[in-house]
Each structure stands twice: as C-alpha cells, then as structure tokens.
C-alpha cells in the first residue's frame, strides 16, 4: 500500500475527511485500487458530497467486476446503497443492498442496512412514491472523474462577486499572477459541531487570522509559495454558533476551524444561510418557536416508521445511530442483533429464536405471525454445502 493511501485511511478513521480525500486522490493517481475508491467514497459521503461518493462507488464496482472479485463487488454495491440512502432514494438503495447480498450474504452491516432502508421504503408509501422509484442499474454507466474544488484565487473584484453568488462563500486572493488552485475549503458536521477546513499547505502561523462570530467566520492568511493574501468569508452561517466553545488548529496541510452549534442536533443543509428559515404560523406562533436569543428551537423527535410488531413503531434512526452509518465494522452485526433482541417483545424474541435455530443460523425473522406457522429451511450461502452430522 502506498504511503498516501495509508495516510488517507488513517485520516478517514480519525474523521479528517478533507485530508482523507486529498491523500486518497494522490494514491489513486498511481493506481485505481477499488478499496481506495471505496474509502474516498466514504469520505465524500460524510461531508455531504453524494455525487462524488456515488461516482467513486460506481467506479470501484466496474473495476471489481473486471477482476471478478465477489467480495469487492458486494462492498461496492453496499457503498452505493449507503450513498443512495443519504440521497433519500430508498428504492435505489434497497436494490443496491439486494445486489450486495447476492454476492456476499455475510457482509458486515448489510442486514442492518436492509432493515433500515426497508423501514424508510414502507414509511414513504407505495412503489410510485418519488423516493421509492427504482432507476438504478446493477452495472452503472461509467462517469469520468471531475474533481470538485472551490477556487479562492480571483483576478478581479467582479470575479469575486460572481464567485460569492455562485458558491455562497466570499473568497479572495491578491498579489498573485499565478494563483494557486490547490487552496480550497471543505466542511462537514456532527451532532454538536461544524468543521471547516481551509486546505492550504505550509501557511506561516503568524500570518493567519481567524475571526469567529456568532453568525460568521472569516479566515485570512498569506501563502509562502507565491505570497498570496487569501481571505475566506462565510457570512451568514446557517445557524448560530457558541463562540466560547469554538476554536481552530493549524496543521502543515490545513487550517481546521471547529464551530460548536448553539442548537445541537440541528442538521445544516448548507454551511451558509441562503434564505430565511420558514416558520409555520398555523401550528405554533413565531414567538413560541424562538428563544430569547432569537434562535429557532429545534424539535429533537426523530421520525418513527410504521410496523406490524406488537411493540409498536420502531425508530430506526435511534437504533442504528449516526456512527453506525459507515462504521459498521466497529461492532459488527452481532451488536445490532443483541440490541434488537434485548429491546424486543416476547413474540419477537420467539420469532428470532425459532427462525435462527431452524435455519441453522442462515435466516432471521422478527415476525411471529410468519415464523409460528412454518418451518424454516436451511439456506446456506452460495458455494457452501449443508452436511448433517450424527449426534
């Protein structure tokens, strides 16, 4: 494995997605390894760049098919399914997970994702629902790579205004006849924080100025290569931030700014607010929805999906959790099934035990109305033969 690929994998595991993309892109310039494409797809997905994530997953699938690697084909379909789920295309996501299961039934996290996407699919109605329409192909068309970058270097004020209106970010670099296209920004978020990375190498620390305000962020610095003075302005931010808990750190490759949300749990669709947030006056007055600081209060209740289980509707977002989305290898499916069994009602537990024992561990069902009336057959994975042993 190349040094860049190792750094990319490490950055991905540490949650430094911008650096992961940078290192993995460098590695992919030397070899189009499917594993590296899938890792970069994961990094793109976690910062909300779903198109790039899907492109990498599709490309990994094509290479895996050419090499005849069943496990890689399954992993590529699995990654495609996760990306489509992030795009709220549940019909397409479910098909990708089915294709993944065809090539590897024991793929870590696959059963969990099938349960989650099926709940989303059923909650959104019939097959005619926009989110449930199936348009995905098992073997997708090849799309050439087109790296997405934010170009901060501009030659005139008119170009700066054009860039601001297009990207929602005011960026400017001065005193340069050959501005560097490698200076750009990426951002991603968690439940409590928003992280903004300004990707610029070897910036002198004494030239960096970071101004964090309640609804804005300004970063300026001077590069050593061509002595540019670069400025990034994010104003207004999508929502209020807690200045006292926010801060930044400087590495050889970037300036990393961590902004703490005043409204934990609020998912920012964009880094900046492009238009006012609508308030529904019919159900609650604007005054009731706003606190003393003028912030809109966020309802923390997660969506609940219908189910035939006697225990009532299950909130799969709570069951799965954010970190389970891509890091299923950390605990594996066993942890998910243990949690599912622990919180189940007696009929669900009976169904799980009966289906698992009768199928010799090859099937699992939670519906007693189905399990109680039939005997489960042993259905081994492809290539495995069932043998009976004398007791």
Q: What CATH number does residue 244 fall under?
A: 2.60.40.790
Residue 219 confidence (pLDDT) above 70: yes
Mark which of 261, 286, 310 sits at the end of a domain.
261
Do 119 and 169 lie in one domain? The reply is no
Provide mean pLDDT across the span 363-385: 75
Q: How far apart are CA 198 and CA 179, in angstroms?
A: 16
Same domain, 172 and 83: no
Residue 109 shares a structural domain with residue 192: no
pLDDT higher than 60, residue 290: no
Picking from 375, 348, 381, 346, the residue whose alpha carbon sits closest to that of residue 362 is: 381
Higher-confidence position of 17 and 323 = 17
> Quick check: is 302 in a domain?
no
Identify whether residues 183 and 223 lie together within a single domain. yes
pLDDT digits (tens, 9 = 90+) for 316-355: 554 444 444 444 444 455 666 676 777 677 888 888 888 8
Is 222 a residue whose pLDDT tops 90? Answer: no
Residue partners of 212: CB distance under 8 A and separation at least 6: 241, 243, 246, 247, 248, 257, 259
**Rounded CA separation 229/72 (Å):** 45
Are 121 and 206 part of one and the same domain?
Answer: no
Q: Which of 238, 261, 284 is the last residue of a domain?
A: 261
Read off the pLDDT of residues 192-218 as tens digits, 9 standing for 90 and up. Answer: 899 998 888 878 888 888 999 888 898
321 lies in some domain: no
Give the structural domain span for 96: 3-132
What CATH number did the domain enclosing 98 receive?
1.25.40.10
Instruction: Tell me the sheet residues that pair with 218.
Output: 211, 233
Chosen domain end from 261, 292, 317: 261
Q: Is residue 148 part of a domain?
A: no
- The mean pLDDT value for 119-135 works out to 83
* 7 and 68, same domain (yes or no): yes
Looking at the structure, do residues 186 and 236 belong to the same domain, yes or no? yes
Q: pTM here?
A: 0.43
Beta strands 209-213; 184-189: pairing state? unpaired
Is the pLDDT confidence value at 179 over 90? no
**Within-domain flag for 358:** no
Total domains present in the chain: 2
DSSP code of 43?
H
Instruction: Provide mean pLDDT across the span 94-106.
Output: 92
* 13 and 119 both lie in a single domain: yes
Given a cut of 80, whether residue 56 has pLDDT beyond it is yes
Cα dist from 51 to 17, 228, 244, 247, 266, whole Å: 16, 32, 35, 30, 23
Based on the fold, state whether residues 68 and 186 are members of the same structural domain. Answer: no
Instruction: Quick: pLDDT tens for 225-276.
Output: 555 678 888 888 888 999 989 999 888 888 999 999 999 988 888 888 754 4
Among 127-141, 309-323, 368-382, top mean pLDDT goes to 127-141
- Shared domain check, 20 and 73: yes
Judge if 165 and 113 occupy the same domain. no
In percent, the amount of the chain with pLDDT more than 70 equals 68
Residues 38 and 117 in one domain: yes
Q: What is the pLDDT of residue 191?
A: 86
């Amino acid at each position: 494995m190349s040094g860049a690929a190792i750094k990319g994998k490490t950055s991905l595991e540490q949650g430094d997605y911008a650096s992961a993309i940078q290192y993995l892109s460098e590695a992919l310039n030397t070899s189009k390894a499917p594993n590296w494409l899938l890792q970069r797809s994961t990094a793109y997905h976690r910062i909300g760049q779903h198109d790039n994530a899907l492109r990498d997953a599709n490309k990994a699938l094509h290479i895996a098919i050419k090499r005849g690697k069943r496990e890689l084909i399954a992993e590529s379909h699995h990654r495609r399914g996760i990306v489509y789920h992030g795009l709220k295309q549940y019909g397409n996501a479910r098909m990708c997970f089915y294709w993944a299961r065809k090539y590897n039934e024991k793929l870590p996290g696959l059963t969990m994702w099938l349960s989650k996407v099926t709940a989303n699919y059923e909650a959104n109605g019939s097959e005619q629902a926009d989110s449930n329409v199936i348009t995905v192909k098992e073997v997708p068309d090849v799309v050439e790579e087109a790296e997405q970058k934010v170009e901060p270097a501009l030659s005139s004020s008119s170009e700066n205004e054009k860039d601001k209106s297009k990207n929602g970010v005011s960026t400017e670099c001065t005193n340069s006849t050959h501005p560097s296209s490698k200076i750009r920004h990426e951002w991603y978020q968690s439940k409590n924080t928003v992280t903004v990375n300004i990707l610029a190498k070897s910036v002198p620390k004494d030239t960096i100025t970071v101004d964090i305000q309640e609804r804005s962020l300004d970063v300026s610095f001077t590069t050593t290569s061509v002595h540019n003075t670069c400025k990034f302005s994010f104003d207004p931010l999508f929502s209020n931030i807690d200045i006292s808990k926010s801060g930044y750190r400087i590495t050889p490759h970037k300036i990393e700014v961590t902004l703490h949300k005043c409204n934990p749990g609020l998912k920012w669709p964009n880094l900046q607010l492009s238009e006012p947030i609508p308030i529904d006056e019919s159900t609650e007055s604007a005054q009731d929805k706003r606190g003393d600081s003028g912030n809109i209060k966020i309802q923390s209740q997660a969506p609940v999906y219908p189910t035939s289980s006697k225990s009532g509707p299950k909130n799969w977002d709570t069951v799965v959790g954010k970190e389970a989305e891509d890091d299923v290898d950390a605990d594996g499916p066993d942890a998910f099934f243990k949690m599912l069994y622990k919180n189940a009602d007696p009929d669900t537990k009976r169904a799980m035990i009966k289906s698992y024992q009768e199928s010799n561990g090859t099937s699992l069902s939670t519906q007693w109305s189905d399990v109680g009336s039939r005997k489960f057959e042993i259905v081994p994975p492809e290539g495995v033969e069932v043998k009976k042993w004398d007791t």
